[in-house]
Amino acid sequence: MRFSAIVILVSLATTLVGCGGEEILVPKIVSSTKRPVYEKLHVYEKPPPKKIEVTPMPRLAGKVIVVDPGHGGKDPGAGEVGCSRLPEKTLVLAIAKNIETQLKACGARVIMTRTADYFVSLNERAAIVDKYKADLMLSIHIDSCPKGYISGPTVYIANKACCQSDKVASSIHSSFVTAGIGSKGIRHAGFRVLVKHSRPAVLVECGYLTNSNDARKLNNRWYQKNIAKLISDGVILAFGGR
């Protein structure tokens, strides 16, 4: 019986650098009668370590803000004698709810003095502010005036307002001006929701329901969201957000 010897050829691997890793040439086992044939094996590099994303703290984290939709229930506010199809109490509630949503999204704890169409006295509203030791009382209203040409929002603070009240009022006023809304500026008043508690407070009159242009805009849901955003932006900036 005859035996044929088979020779195993092994050659040193040649390394080829490829995209995303290395390609290594490895020999196949072949008979001595043929040249070695090389196969490519793709060697993958280790994936890069995952980046740890740090979530920034919400801009109003830890802040308690009382949002106060004016009037309600038996008290309709302005609108009955104005150019609006809806009374003040309905419109300010819609704006206040938009503000609530936006401030909560920034981490604030928001307390609403009313969430539907019912009456809450001014003294009760002020008591809520002290009860929760609010960082801010934000009261939302819409104005009226016998002179129908008067328009635009107005920001009010107490006659002897604290520094934080003044800071928030200035920031909201600036937010209106930047957006091109003709704000009537910052005024001082002795409104009970501003003075019958010990916390910072701002009252915003969002326009005039006795002005046909203001009334038309304030009855529009898009504008309600827009003015709510401008007020919320002012609050956020005043508390050091952004």
* Active site members: 205
Q: Is 96 helix (H, G, I), strand (E, B) or coil?
A: helix
Is 64 within 8 Å of 135 (Cβ atoms)?
Answer: yes
Residue 146 CB-half CA count within 13 A: 0
Cα-Cα-Cα-Cα dihedral sign, residues 238, 176, 100, 80: positive
Nearest alpha-carbon partner for 129 in 172, 71, 191, 67: 67
Q: What length does the chain have?
A: 242
Q: Which two tokens stand for residue 181?
A: 């809304």
SS3 229: helix
For residue 130, what are the contacts with CB-CB under 8 A and spacing of at least 6?
Answer: 197, 198, 199
Residue 79 · residue 123 · CB < 8 Å: no
Whole-angstrom distance, CA of residue 93 vs CA of residue 69: 5
The residue whose two tokens read 């009855």 is: 219
User: Cα separation of 203 and 126, whole Å?
Assistant: 12
